[in-house]
Structure formats: structure tokens, C-alpha cells
Chains A and B, each alone.
Chain A
Amino acid sequence: MSQPDQTVLTPEILRVDQVSVTLSGRQILDEVSFAVQAGEFTGLIGPNGAGKTTLLRVILGLQRPSAGSVTVLGQPRSPRSQPIGYVPQKVLLDPDMPMRARDLVALGLDGSKYGPRLRSRQRDQAVREMLHAVDAERFADARVGNLSGGEQQRVLIAHALISRPRLLLLDEPLANLDLRSGQEVISLLARIAREQQIAVLLSAHEMNPLLPVMDRVVYVAGGRAASGPADEIVTSDVLSRLYGHRVDVLHVHGRVLVVAGPAADDGAAADDGAAALAAAEAEPARAEATGDEAGVAVRPGADAS
């Protein structure tokens, strides 16, 4: 297959179509739509509480959307259908759990099957290959609970990938990692997406570590989402529309900072006396808040909400 053809023929792995979710009267997601192709690395970016985990749960079939649909490889989604690799946000691996990294990966192959497990050379071989693929052979025989956060993340990724899913979902995998382990996990995922033509969808509240590898951004804020290449989506215009108020996207030394805009956002309401007064009263506080954010901006991409 020639290069240009490949980009045209890349199969669509995931389509999220007009998905809305309302939980106990509160709208969490509002008509979210996007699609993910094979081999693509997609960042699901947004502040905490934006609805990223809910969106992942809808894709997994664990949360029924109040409207819209999710299709995986052209099929409607249900928990028992096509395997999706999943690495949840919090997996508390107890140090007392008598389980080696190798055993946890093996559970990814047959953990949902009933009855006792028979020894299988084929299974052991698959586990070895997977441990090699995520560079986890060094600690394959250590208790998972004793591994570092980055090592555990690798083992969980191997666990999720060993059943050969076409789609891998990761919920905030970088949240509890130091910078270097985070970078290692990201480059590992980018390599796996490319080599095995798996679609990787990774949620994060911090986009900068992902910028070099992301093929696509799905930016979620206030329950709404915009998707596309990072340089088209992470702009002041698009994000301001999502957040529903003025937001500035700043580029500083190759990093992207999203900060709340200045108070002049309510220009349209300026001729309303009361609103103008309210805005004027709020002015000093806002200026201070903006100043704070500039200070916090050392942590790039911090929540703008």
C-alpha cells in the first residue's frame, strides 16, 4: 500500500456522535461528537470536572448516554462487544497483593473467563511478548504493589493491550507520575499507536507533555467538546466558545498556556447599566485572579476554569 493511500484508507475506530449525558438533573456532556482513526494518538483534554471520565465511561459502555450514540469499528457499543483496552484513573495496587506484574498482564488475556485456568505455553508466550513491548521485563516478577507509579502504569498498559484491542482508553494516566515517568509512558503509547495501528485516546488536564505526539485534540470544557489538530483547536477563539467566557491561549517557549481572559469579556452587556456596574465592581478581584494565574502559569496549561 502506498503512503497517500494509507491515510485515505485508515479505518475509523471510534465515532462519538452527538452524545449527551445528564446525571441527576445536571448536564455533564452536551452533544459531543468526534471520531478517531487507527494509529491515531488523541488527547482528551480539559479541566477537572469537565466530563472527561464520563465521556470515557460512555465509550466503554459503562454509562448510557441520554442522547447520541457511540460506535466502535462501526458497531454500536456495549460492554460485552468489541474489546477496548482500558486503564482507569485510580488503580490501587496493594503491596500485600500476591500478584506479580506478569500475573496482572495475564489477567488481561482471560480475566473475564470463568472456571479454573489451565496452564498454557501460548499464554505465557503472549505475556512475555507484551511485557517486552512495554519494556517491563525487568520487573515482571516483582509484586505489582511494590512497583513505582510509572512501572505500574506500564504493567496496566500491557494488561489492557494483551487482548489485542483496536482502541486503548487511558483516564489521566499521567496524573500521579513524575515528569520523566510521564514522558516515558507517553512515548511508549505513541510508539504502540503507530506500530500496532491502535487508536489511543488519553485524557489529561495538562496538555503540554502530549503536544509533541498528539495527532488530534478533543478539548472538553463545560460539557461541550471541539476536536481537530491541536493548532486548530487550542486557540483563543475556539476555547472561549467552549468555556462560554473569554479565554486566552498563550504560547510561551513552545508551551501552551490557557488562562482566563481579562474582565472586558462582557462588552455586549456594557450598555446595560447594572451589568456595567457589576463588572466594574468585580474588576479589582478579576485583575488579581488574572495576576494569580500568570503566577501559576509556571505550570503550563493549568486549569482555566
Chain B
Amino acid sequence: MHQLYNAVFEPGFFGSPQVHVAVAVGGIVAIVSAVVGVFTVMRGQSFAGHSLGDVSAAGGSGALLIGLNPLAGFVGLGIAGAAVMDMIGVQRLRGRDLATGIVLGAAIGLSALFLYLTATTGATAGATQQVLFGSIFTTTPGTVPVVAIFGAISLGGIALIYRPLLLSTVSPDIAAARGVPVRLVGVLYMIALAVSVGLSSLAIGAILSTALLIGPAATALQLTRRVAWALTTACVIGVLAVWVGVLLAYDSYYWGSSHLSLPVSFFIVALIFVTYLVSVAVSGRKARAGARRPASVTRAADHDKVAA
């Protein structure tokens, strides 16, 4: 028993200060991403979420280049990117892909420049790895409160606009007729999205942030019928994936004899992906088992009665 426990939680796991920071940052990031992600998936803005990740990458690499905390760059440029996307027309269904694509292209170009410059000037070792694939184990304990504050801002924003956002997600026309400032609500949501993506850029990397944003949310939407439950389910899935990912990455050092610590982002993304596949299989099975909507079931039953 003790041996098994030690095999799962390698000695030193709970004592490691890096693990403490990773668990705290990962937990906050997972919750913010899950909540924002549920709306991202419902609004069909996954592509916008992904391109904000690329904008974050440009911000993070720029910040490293001039010696700032990368988190400031991740979040700062992300919000600017969201504003530009809104200006070009992300709120129009047909303008969306265009606005997103243009911003995404520009952002990747900037990242290429900044990362090249950081690599050649040697300002920060491993900047590319850190920006693109995350730095959850190298984050300083001092960053944790900053992450918590940004997370609270993002979640607070979503809580404030929860119902108008939901209504304008269902139908912008109805929302506008009810006096909801649809565009303003959309912009506030995009800011919450930019903050959330900036945070997960820090944790699991700018280009992997999409996985944490979309994966738990998409899985939750497969499994639930209510927004509140979808939010809760997505949070649980996201937090578990991040924490188990942290554990596996820590343990991987002891696997085999080569003593390589495999990247934590890989484990997190792999767990999210597998969870999604399982949820698709489960909900597909439910549908096949005849658990169609109750209305048609009763109707069919009535029909049988008449026939009998």
C-alpha cells in the first residue's frame, strides 16, 4: 500500500515549492479557463480564443525581450488584441473569421520577431519554450497573487454580465430588443477571454492555452443540460487535468533511467483530449440507448396506446 502510494506520489512531491506554485497557479488558471471557455464554445468563438493565444505569445515574448514579467505581456497584448478584433468586426458572424485571422497573422509575425531577438541577444534562456509551452514549474511564488487577481477580474466580469451574455449568445436580436447593449457585453466578454488566455499562456503555454479553454468546456457541454452544471463540470475537469498533469510530469522524472522530466503541458493537454473523447463516446452511447428527448418518447407511447 505504502509502495503504491509512493509510486503515485513520488517522494518529495508534496514538499516541493515548485509543486505548490504549480498547483495554485494551475488550479486558478483551470477554473478561469473553464468558465470563460463554456461561453467561448457556446458562442462559437474557439478560433478567436486560439488567436488570442497567439497574441498572448507576442505579448509574452515582447515582455521577456524588454525584461518585463511575461504575464504582463500575455494579458496586456491579449486585451489589445481583443479590442482590435472587436474593431474589425468579431461581433458579426461573417466578420469573425476575418477579424480573427488578420489579428492572428500579425501576432505570430510579432512573436517570430521577438523570440528571434530574445534568442540572439540572449536576454532570457529558453524564452521560446517558456512562451509557447508554458512555465508552470518555473513560476515564482510572487506571481501567484497576481494570477489570483487577474483570475478574479475575469471571473467577476463574467459573473456581472452572466445573463445578458447568455441572452445575446442565444440570440443577439432578442437581446438587443430587450435593451441589452449587445456589443458592449461582447467586448467585456472578449476582455475576460483575453485575461483567461493570458493566464493559461503562463501556465501551459500560449499555443496550448486553447486546449485548456476549449477542452473542459466542450466536454462539459456534452454531458450536461444546464449552463450552471456545464460551468461546474468544466471547472472540475479542468482542475483535475491540470493537477494530474502536474503530478505525472513530476513523476516522469523517475520513469526509466534517463531522468528526463517530461513537459507538464503535454500531460495536461493529453488528459483533456482523452476526457473529451470519452465524453463523446458516453453521450453518443446515451443517444443510441434511446434516451432521446422525453417529448417524442411520450408521443410514441401515446401512439402505441392508440394502436393497441
Q: How far is the CA of A210 from the CA of B229 in the complex (A)?
A: 41
The residue in B166, B170, B294 that gathers the most chain A C-beta atoms within 10 A of its C-beta is B170
**Quick one: which of A111, A138, A143 contacts B178, CB cutoff 8 A?**
A111
User: Which residues B151-170 have CB closer than 8 A to chain A?
Assistant: 159-164, 166-167, 169-170
**Chain B residues whose CB sits within 8 angstroms of the CB of A117 once the complex forms:** 162-163
Q: A83-119 vs B: 1/0 string, CB under 8 Å?
A: 1101110010110111110011001001111111100
Q: A11-52 vs B: 1/0 string, CB under 8 Å?
A: 000000000000000000000000000000000000000000
Residues of A within 8 A of B (CB): 60-62, 79-80, 83-84, 86-88, 91, 93-94, 96-100, 103-104, 107, 110-117, 138-139, 141-143, 146-147, 151, 159-160
**Chain A residues whose CB sits within 8 angstroms of the CB of B229 once the complex forms:** 98
User: Which one of B20-28, B72-80, B138-146, B217-225 contacts A?
Assistant: B217-225
A91 to B, closest residue via Cβ: B171
Verify B160–A151 contact, CB threshold 8 A: no
Q: How far is the CA of A113 from the CA of B176 in the complex (A)?
A: 13
Q: How far is the CA of A138 from the CA of B302 in the complex (A)?
A: 13
Q: How far is the CA of A67 from the CA of B303 in the complex (A)?
A: 56
Q: Is the interface of A mostly helix, strand, loop or mixed?
A: loop
Q: Does B290 sit at the interface, judged by CB under 8 A? A: no
B292 to A, closest residue via Cβ: A146
With contacts A84-B177, A111-B164 known, what are 17 further pairs, Cβ within 8 A? Answer: A91-B173, A91-B174, A94-B44, A96-B42, A96-B222, A98-B38, A98-B226, A98-B229, A100-B225, A103-B227, A104-B170, A107-B170, A112-B179, A138-B294, A138-B298, A139-B295, A141-B225
Size class of the B contact interface (CB-based, 8 Å): 35 or more
Verify A138–B295 contact, CB threshold 8 A: yes
The distance from the CB of A298 to the nearest CB of chain B, in whole angstroms, is 30
Verify A97–B170 contact, CB threshold 8 A: yes
Q: Does B230 sit at the interface, judged by CB under 8 A? A: yes
Q: How far is the CA of A104 from the CA of B42 in the complex (A)?
A: 14
User: Which residues B172-225 have CB closer than 8 A to chain A?
Assistant: 173-180, 220-222, 224-225
Q: Does B293 sit at the interface, judged by CB under 8 A? A: yes
Q: How far is the CA of A160 from the CA of B167 in the complex (A)?
A: 12
Q: How far is the CA of A61 from the CA of B177 in the complex (A)?
A: 7
Verify A151–B295 contact, CB threshold 8 A: yes
Verify B227–A112 contact, CB threshold 8 A: no
The distance from the CB of B78 to the nearest CB of chain A, in whole angstroms, is 24
Q: How far is the CA of A187 from the CA of B177 in the complex (A)?
A: 25
**Quick one: which of B42, B166, B173 contacts A88, CB cutoff 8 A?**
B173
**Quick one: which of A83, A94, A100 contacts B42, CB cutoff 8 A?**
A94
User: Which residues B87-130 have CB closer than 8 A to chain A?
Assistant: none
Residues of B within 8 A of A (CB): 38, 41-42, 44, 159-164, 166-167, 169-171, 173-180, 220-222, 224-227, 229-230, 292-295, 298
Instruction: Provide 26 A-B residue pairs closer than 8 Å at the C-beta atoms, listed in order of the A residue.
Output: A60-B176, A62-B176, A79-B179, A80-B179, A91-B171, A91-B173, A98-B220, A98-B221, A98-B224, A98-B226, A98-B227, A99-B225, A99-B227, A100-B226, A107-B163, A107-B170, A111-B164, A111-B174, A111-B180, A112-B163, A112-B178, A114-B164, A116-B159, A116-B162, A143-B293, A151-B295
Verify B295–A107 contact, CB threshold 8 A: no
Q: How far is the CA of A152 from the CA of B180 in the complex (A)?
A: 22
**Chain A residues whose CB sits within 8 angstroms of the CB of B44 once the complex forms:** 94
Question: Contacts A107-B166, A110-B163 hold; do A79 and B294 have CB atoms under 8 A apart?
Answer: no
Verify B221–A114 contact, CB threshold 8 A: no
Verify B163–A142 contact, CB threshold 8 A: no
Question: Contacts A91-B171, A97-B170, A112-B164 hold; do A103 and B294 have CB atoms under 8 A apart?
Answer: no
The distance from the CB of B54 to the nearest CB of chain A, in whole angstroms, is 25
The distance from the CB of A169 to the nearest CB of chain B, in whole angstroms, is 8
**Chain B residues whose CB sits within 8 angstroms of the CB of A159 once the complex forms:** 174
**Quick one: which of A94, A100, A107, A141 contacts B167, CB cutoff 8 A?**
A107
Verify A146–B293 contact, CB threshold 8 A: yes
**Chain A residues whose CB sits within 8 angstroms of the CB of B178 once the complex forms:** 79, 83, 86, 111-112
Verify B177–A143 contact, CB threshold 8 A: no
A160 to B, closest residue via Cβ: B174
Verify B293–A139 contact, CB threshold 8 A: yes
**Chain B residues whose CB sits within 8 angstroms of the CB of A104 once the complex forms:** 170
Q: How far is the CA of A185 from the CA of B203 in the complex (A)?
A: 52
